[in-house]
Chains A and B, each alone.
Chain A
């Protein structure tokens, strides 16, 4: 009987390709067990607005800035583009907050701060992912941190119905605090007692 032989090179190739397949499978497998945030990203992919879309209507919102005279948040009106979903509107609201006040109030964000990503889960939690400057250039005091957090939280919850709570992320991940005070490890409900009457 003649032995059908497979050369060592063929075996090695076979082995290598098996390993590649398995590693791929492993990576996919592990992806499923990832954190909630990931699945939240997947469920609400940011929809890209394209040139061909009809012109969006304007929508009036109130965004909240800090006044150091009374340590409260004061509203300013802004016109943003409506839709297509609350995600795009909320993004514009946060960008307006970072851009700053037109009435001489304080924008409680270091001006270098960038909005990296924003998404809203079905449960009504808006995840606002800000760049590292929000921590690195932050004045780090209780009042400063409160102003930063609730300027975002109150602005988003006040203007956008689908947003019930706001979770602040920095550089894509959860942080304990911005500078040692206010707890960022859970979503915030709005605190309208910080808004000026």
Chain B
């Protein structure tokens, strides 16, 4: 009998632990963790990602979907859920996305989310709508302290993702929101003109003018995806629209091409790179909602729900096209630029927007003459005025 002394036994034990830990490490898919917990006045879901992944949030009825754009496959490990408002966590995957679905017990909630970058955590607070006193003022929310203070992280400064709905008291009062998206921002400067002007500055200037016009003359609240020179990801721009339940989304840009002579104004709406499956769903939509100017019938909502997550904009293409036509018409009559017409293209920023959405290319910053126009106050005012008139006509059309 071969005796093993204590040291060798210890070495063997260490080796076998090493063996099994390596084996399990090798076999594991990246894991996304999910947990839910109730606090005074709200329920909090915490999603912990294995790495920094881009995602978007979308609410549909009693579901909140976190769409992760990645071809990787994940394992969702959810702690047992015992919560007043959060019912369950589930997931679906396909193609280039993985989606975590948080099911709430009913649809009467609103969510407020923020990220803790250091922990790769997404924190989503669910507020039950009836539970909120009508007189509650924006800002009060910030003073609520969860029962466990260490669970209350500070939202990162400048984090523009999914702004809290508290900041939007108009929505609570039933005033519809129009989201205006000044293209680019921060380090992402967009196109540059020959004279050094930047697309991001022009888009912000026009957007601020448009916001002022709408709020002065129409009973709409305007939310900007940025109101200063900061970076906002394309997905967060769509998420801002959806979180505010925007009724219209207008993205404002200045165009650029290869040669100085390209010129004119054009308005885009989304085209889908439809797969067969998506095409089938789209065909379903079109057959079952002949009048797309009207909201979709409730009996179709289940089918639409499936579509909305991966192609939020697809349900609104006809409205978006109409909105694009009308805005382009007004740009033509007010700007004196070449009419490049309306076009369909797969714009990232429009993809996830769940309302009629267009992208306006006001003029070419790569054309020296138009660059000079684009920085003129009067020209910017005209672009804003044209889009504003387009919005008025579109809204009239609906009512």
A143 is an interface residue with CB less than 8 A from chain B: yes
Set B3, B72, B359: member contacting A35, Cβ < 8 A: B72
A188 contacts across to B, CB distance below 8 A? 273, 346
Query: What are the residues of chain B within 8 A of A29 when measuring CB–CB?
Result: 26-27
Is B73 part of the contact surface with A, judged by Cβ < 8 Å? yes
The 8 Å CB contact of A140, one of B19, B191, B268, is B191
Pick from B262, B351, B359 the residue with the most CB of A within 10 Å.
Answer: B262
> Does the CB pair B268–A142 fall under 8 Å?
yes
| B29 touches A (CB below 8 Å) | yes
Bound together, the chains give a CA A184 to CA B5 distance in angstroms of 62
Residues on the A chain within 8 Å of B71, using CB: 35-37, 174
Q: Are A189 and B258 in contact (CB under 8 A)?
A: no
* Residue of A whose beta carbon sits closest to that of B255: A141
Binary CB contact string for chain A from 118 to 161 against chain B (1 if under 8 A, 0 otherwise): 00000000000000000000011111101100000000000000
> Closest approach, in angstroms, between the C-beta of B105 and any C-beta of chain A?
33
Given contacts A15-B11, A26-B26, contact A185 B69 (CB under 8 A): yes
The answer, yes or no, to whether B195 is at the interface (CB within 8 Å) is no
User: Which of the segments B139-147, B182-190, B373-381 contacts the partner chain?
Assistant: B182-190
A142–B345 CB distance below 8 A: yes
> CB-CB < 8 A to B72: which residues of A?
35
A57 close to chain B: CB less than 8 A: no
Of all chain A residues, which has the CB nearest B20?
A: A22
Q: Are A141 and B261 in contact (CB under 8 A)?
A: no
B217 interface hit (Cβ, 8 Å) = no
Q: Does A4 contact B (CB under 8 A)?
A: yes
State A23–B255 Cα separation when bound (angstroms): 52
Chain B residues in 8 Å Cβ range of A75: none
Residues in A whose Cβ lies below 8 Å from that of B183: 180
The minimal Cβ–Cβ distance linking B24 to chain A, given in whole angstroms, is 10
Interface locus among B80-88, B149-157, B361-369: B361-369
Q: Mark B17-51, 1 if CB is under 8 A from A, else 0.
A: 01100110111010000000000000000000000
Provide the residues of chain B in CB contact with A106, threshold 8 Å.
Answer: 258-259
Interface residues of A in 3-61 (CB under 8 A from B): 3-6, 8, 11, 15, 18-19, 22-23, 25-26, 29-30, 33, 35-37
- B19's partner among A22, A141, A185 (CB-CB below 8 A) is A22
CB-CB nearest in chain B for A11: B11
A146 contacts B188, C-beta separation under 8 Å: no
CB-CB under 8 A from B19, the residues of chain A are 18, 22
Min CB distance, A21 to chain B, in Å?
10
Cross-chain contact A139 with B273 (CB below 8 angstroms): no
| A interface residues, how many (CB within 8 angstroms) | 50
Cβ of B117 within 8 Å of any chain A Cβ, yes or no, is no
14 further A-B pairs in the complex, CB-CB below 8 A; given A26-B22, A141-B254, A142-B255? A15-B15, A22-B19, A22-B22, A37-B71, A68-B259, A141-B361, A144-B191, A174-B96, A180-B183, A181-B345, A182-B346, A185-B69, A185-B96, A187-B273
What are 29 A-to-B residue pairs whose CB atoms are below 8 Å?
A1-B3, A4-B2, A11-B8, A18-B18, A22-B18, A22-B19, A22-B22, A71-B257, A71-B340, A108-B258, A139-B191, A140-B190, A141-B199, A141-B255, A142-B255, A142-B256, A143-B255, A144-B257, A144-B366, A176-B234, A180-B184, A181-B253, A181-B347, A182-B346, A183-B348, A183-B351, A186-B273, A191-B271, A193-B344
A-to-B contact residues, CB < 8 Å: 1, 3-6, 8, 11, 15, 18-19, 22-23, 25-26, 29-30, 33, 35-37, 66, 68, 71, 106, 108, 139-144, 146-147, 165, 174, 176-177, 179-189, 191, 193
Query: B residues within 8 Å of A by Cβ?
Result: 1-3, 5, 7-8, 11, 15, 18-19, 22-23, 25-27, 29, 54, 69, 71-73, 95-96, 183-184, 188, 190-191, 199, 234, 253-259, 261-262, 268, 271, 273-274, 340, 344-349, 351, 359, 361, 364-366
Closest 4 CB pairs of A and B: A141-B256, A26-B26, A29-B26, A183-B348
